[in-house]
Amino acid sequence: MASQDWDILIWQRANALLQQAERIQRNFLQIAVRSHYRTVQGRSTCWEPPINVVETDETLWVIVAIPGVKPDRVEVRLDGGELTIAGERPLPACCTEGELSTWEIPLGRFERHLVLEGRYPLSIGKTSLQDGLLVIELRKQL
């Protein structure tokens, strides 16, 4: 077998392995997304958006990633030391017909509970939704 034939064979095998790795990654993402779904007692299945929390001397800032969600579809509640962010990300109008063949972006109802343990009572300040990030200001009552 000529040297060029081996090069072609090796490249074909490498390409096949890369394609297999991409399929495995897609499957992993689909499984990972589904694992974020859970059943809330008395409610339908929902997903949990990722969050960041930043604390300053006077404020807790909660940043929630919810791209594709309109402000009128989000509810923020503070009950004692628990913050609840709930809402819905619908399927885009362009996709209401047809069959969903790949599921990587969670859709439907979402809900995230965050227990805020601190020394100070909190109150909700301003909230804003811009570029897919919901920013919630929680003021410490010093």
* Segment 44-56, tens digit of pLDDT: 568 899 999 999 9
In this structure, the dihedral spanned by the alpha carbons of residues 25, 28, 33 and 35, taken in order and rounded to 10 degrees, is -170
For the chain, give the percent of residues with pLDDT over 70: 83
Looking at residue 66, what is its pLDDT?
96
Domain boundaries, the chain: 36-140
* DSSP state string for 61-76: EEEEE-TT--GGGEEE
| Kind of pairing between the strands at 45-47 and 37-39 | antiparallel
Looking at residue 18, what is its pLDDT?
86
The predicted model scores a pTM of 0.68
CATH top class, domain 36-140: mainly beta
The answer, yes or no, to whether residue 36 has pLDDT greater than 60, is no
Please state, in angstroms and as integers, the Cα–Cα distance from residue 58 to each residue in 78, 127, 140, following that order. 17, 16, 5
Looking at residue 131, what is its pLDDT?
95
For 97, the token pair is 């017909």
- Which amino acid, 4? Q
CA 114 to chain centre: 15
Three-state SS letters, 20-53: HHHHHHHHHHHHHHHHCEEECCCCCEEECCCEEE
* Segment 75-113, tens digit of pLDDT: 999 998 899 999 999 888 887 777 767 777 888 899 999
Per the CB < 8 A criterion, the answer to whether 123 and 141 are in contact is: yes
